[in-house]
Structure 1
Amino acid sequence: MKPLALTFLSASIIALTACGGGDDNAENLTTEQVLSLARNTNSANQNYPDSATNELLMKTPEAVTYYLGDGVLRWSTETQIPLYFVSIDGANPPQTLIDGVAQLESRLGDIFTDFKLLTWDVQQYRDTNASDENMGNDTFDKAFFMAQNNLSEGGMILSIDSGYYDKQYSNNAQNMCANSSIAPFSGALQILWDKTGYTYSKENLIWTNMGNNHGCKWNTQTVMHELAHGMGMYQHFEPQFGSWSDGAFDVLATLYHNAPGTKWADLQVSTL
């Protein structure tokens, strides 16, 4: 039987796309702050309006409920999270991506697979009529993409110059240099949830889009920030998670050092 799953509609486009680079150099967080921020960032829709339930069910019949934010929701790490890098020529990922993943694993453990290289031109999904921005043309089809690349399950996919940039939100390309989303050139992040275990469904294919075709600068901290969005830190919190910091790492580590579904009152904080 197919596990029950729901579409988890995370934070607004602005919150998930206005991600720059650099280290915040923020002060460390107290235990109480880590607990509070872990809950707030992981429960982005705890106030999702009841009035929207029927509409959600009509659009996604398998979505029998919505995430109430009563415990940790994240990838399962009982098996490694599939990790992909896509490029037009099947090249290896740049060192900055490799370093970002390695730094996350230095604290979270060996939670990702090695990069699987995919040969695919993601620029075909860009709206060329908006050349001064970086938005999709609504042609990306996840099922087709996965079938053509022989992917039996989803995971986290990293891509270069596919970040969502819309001047409706900023005229500065650096302010929208990277994002986490459901597709290249998209500003939307949705999570399919295996309700039986408070873990992500294996149907998820979460894109980590680095760069936006307009010369913006990103670094290892930006990579960690965007991966963290796709791993369960849906909401920004300033200044620690404006980009990246030890405090942001404490929050992510806390989410991943507690079992999926752990109630907030039982959460054990992980700090260095």
Structure 2
Amino acid sequence: MFTAESSFTGDFKLVPLKWAERARKSYPLESTSTAKAVNYGMYTPESMWNKCTYVISELLNECLVGSWVFAISPTAADLSTIASWISDILVDSASLVLVVLEWFQVLSAWEKTFGMPVLTRQDSEVTYSIVPAKCYWTVFAHAGASWQAKHVELVTQLREKVAIRKAAAANKQKRPEDDEDDDEVDARLHKARKRPQKNENKMQTILPTEKAKAAQQVEQPEEEEAVDICSDDSDDGYIYSDEDYSE
């Protein structure tokens, strides 16, 4: 099994076409290994399916045909987890993926050479079960024949969510037209920001001149009115000279 970072649970890969093949071959469900499964009656025998090379598990691992996995038993009342071997992987036109598993029983004894638990078939009999790629047994285990239709609905919803996420990611990528619009908006904002700065500069140039004028008025003394000593405002009607004042 390999980790699939870019995939999601339930994703799959079809068996590639062979040389000179132009179309994939579909198989009726009754002609596959699902006919040996204990829950085969839940599905339509005449439905057509294509074979896959791997399917993505809940842990985002690529589970190939022939891989050993742990899955929830669809027939167990307690929904216990059982060790199993992937016998086949099938997908229909609605992208419903079914995994055919052969069940094994885990013994309490361990293998000495590899230090691993021993797996064996129960009562030496081969037992198959059909398990969907994304398990919803906790909700639909006892739904009977309607379970298949419900699972198709869930798969469709999953596909729609993936399509919506891809569309949202594509919209986030900037296009050249959007870049031009952004440049125009930035230019307008830049001009709008410069306008108040010019007004502030004008105010700054006006204020110093007014202060300078006020300072000049304070520094210049007021001119006193000249007194004419030769005025004829005296009461006696005479005009006096400097000599008269000196006496």
Q: Report TM bin, short chain.
A: under 0.3
Structure 1 or 2: more strand by fraction: 2
Q: TM-score, normalised by structure 2?
A: 0.25
State the structure with more CA Rg.
2
TM-score, length of structure 1 as denominator length = 0.24
Q: Which has the higher contact order (CA 8 A, sep 6+)?
A: 1
- Structure (1 or 2) with the greater helix fraction: 2
